[in-house]
Amino acid sequence: MLSRWLWLWRRLSRQLWFTVAVYCALGIITALSALLLEPLIPGDISSRIGADAVDRILGVLASSMLAVTTFSIATMVQAFASASTSATPRATQLLVEDRSAQRALATFIGSFVFSLVSIIALSTGVYGPSGRLVLFLVTLGVIVLIVVMLLRWIDRLSKLGRVGETVDQVERAALRAIKARRKTPCLGGHPAVAVPETAIGVVVQQVGYVERIDMARLAAVARDAASAIHVRVLPGSFLTPERAVAYISADLEDKYQDDVRAAFVVGGARSFDQDPRFGMIVLAEVASRALSPAVNDPGTAIDVIGTAVRLFSEWSKPDEKDGLDKVAYPDVYVPPITAQELVEDAFTPIARDGAALIEVGVRLIKGLYAVSVMSDPDMRLAAIMQARNAQARCEKALSNPHDLARLREACGWLSGQRTDGVVPCCTSN
């Protein structure tokens, strides 16, 4: 599990303004570094290389980088709008955090700041002949960096904001969350058990979504208070003032309750980091948008089904450590994410909105079959139930006999499948 400070650092480093600010600071440092290196350069070399041309080069660099930066910002804004319209507004968070776009924009703005600071320094006469030579060489290095970044940025622009690329970005974010949850199925704690009748609930006086649970802090409270903590929500859960986030012993002091509250980070939107379900929900939203009459793009929905199957394949992989070292916080009890929740998040919207399209219905049934034969028995049962629900929706929406025959042929594997023992959802978002 990430520490609180590391999590805050990662969250800060994903912000576009932070990356730009770092590159601007590097640009200023680079421009002024010529003053420090000037004593190391012999004075007669600068006259032979022609460092006087640095003034004109910096002028061209400053004007061109301002134009390129303006164009890049406008392009990114258009990409955000395109992703919101063609995919889902929830995916724009990933576009804002796209490292390639951030580095490109930061490079252009940082180069502009470098040029501006260098021109100001040159106009004040702080650079001698050797300093101008150093600045000339550094400027050449900056130009090479800009050319390389422009080539990469052109390639990135051909994909940024497109539906296929957005789906891939959501898949990568969901995959990271799934891998992290597989390593710690209960966020490092024990699976949830029955809450003692004498326990009291701890509520957070905020309305919003749980973005992160600081398990290390909860474990420290449990250790200091010599009491177990029963967490009742997961990242992605929606909180209201009357909903208890955790239960603790009734005789604990108020300060312990405040520490428990502080372990739950609440925000206005869900985050991908600790919430694998959110990735599945966003994928399903992309498919639902594609299946709307205004868009009418069943191919994207079929692509999302394949993406979801790949993610479930990762979720159902056997644990490499056989459950060892997964309980890092033995005094904290957390409900796990169930297979039924994940399957419903990913496939229910597609089954609902694509019921009248035979190509989507058949692909959905085949995708659920692929999920049902994976190694996770709970996922198998959830996939069977979802496939039967999808079949019922399709049979009600389809009227063509040939389409119905194709659907029933695809559903042939459901004959004799049992769903006894499916565990109902234990958490609610």
List the domain boundaries for the chain.
4-161, 187-267, 277-322+337-414
Instruction: Please tell me the predicted confidence (pLDDT) of residue 426.
Output: 43
* CA gap 17, 19 in Å, rounded: 6
Write the single-letter amino acid at 332: V
Rounded to 5°, the CA angle 226-322-325 comes to 35
CATH level 2 (architecture), domain 187-267: Alpha-Beta Complex (3.90)
Beta pairing class for 329-334 and 189-191 = parallel
Picking from 171, 213, 422, 153, the residue whose alpha carbon sits closest to that of residue 334 is 213
* CA gap 261, 230 in Å, rounded: 13
| Residue 353 and residue 291 in contact, taking contact as beta carbons nearer than 8 Å | yes
List of residues 6+ apart from 243 with CB closer than 8 A: 203, 233
Beta pairing class for 244-248 and 200-203 = antiparallel
| Radius of gyration, alpha carbons of the chain | 28
| Residue 336 and residue 191 in contact, taking contact as beta carbons nearer than 8 Å | yes
- Token digits of residue 177: 């969350």
* CA gap 372, 380 in Å, rounded: 4
In whole numbers, what is the pLDDT of the chain averaged over residues?
Answer: 84
Phi, psi dihedrals of residue 366, rounded to the nearest 5°? -65, -40
Higher-confidence residue of 29 and 214: namely 214
State yes or no: pLDDT of 279 exceeds 90: yes
Q: Which of 132-141, 180-189, 345-354, 368-377 has the lowest mean pLDDT?
A: 132-141
Only one residue has tokens 């440092």, namely: 29
Reported pTM = 0.81
Give tens-digit pLDDT for 210-249. 998 999 899 999 888 888 999 999 999 999 988 999 998 8
- Token digits of residue 16: 């576009």
What is the share, in percent, of the chain residues with pLDDT greater than 70?
88
pLDDT (average), residues 9-21: 77
Residue 318 is given by DSSP the state: P
Instruction: Please tell me the predicted confidence (pLDDT) of residue 322.
Output: 44
